[in-house]
Amino acid sequence: MRIPTWIILPKILARSTGLIYKMSLKNKFNKKTKLSEILSFSEAEEILSKYNFPCFFCPFFSIEISDLEIGEVARNYNIDLENLLKELNEKLSEKNT
């Protein structure tokens, strides 16, 4: 699935304002991780789309990107948070090795 261009803008804004930092092996994603941090990881969009993550299509996404925690969104939309985090962290570990 191709993500619309307007969704990428918050990611660029977050990078330019310093909200996004490079994840390392000691920094694993967890339920409190902000969406802005997760989207700094290049493979995150593909993984989130696989879980039908609704935020990409929400008009408030660009406003809430730095405040929303992945755990909140997963709970509100009945997304399997445990497997989502497992997959994100596995990809992160692969990338950092």
**How many C-beta atoms lie closer than 10 Å to residue 54's C-beta?**
13
Residue 97: predicted pLDDT: 67
DSSP letter (8 states) at residue 57: G
- As to burial, measured by CB atoms within 10 angstroms (0-12 exposed, 13-18 middle, 19+ buried), residue 38 is buried
Fold observed for domain 24-95: SP0561-like (1.10.3910)
Q: Do residues 79 and 52 make contact, with C-beta atoms less than 8 angstroms apart?
A: yes
Digitized pLDDT (tens) for each residue of the chain, 97 residues in all? 555 544 554 555 445 444 444 444 456 899 999 988 998 888 898 999 899 888 777 787 778 888 889 999 999 999 999 999 999 999 988 877 6
Per the CB < 8 A criterion, the answer to whether 14 and 36 are in contact is: yes
Domain boundaries, the chain: 24-95
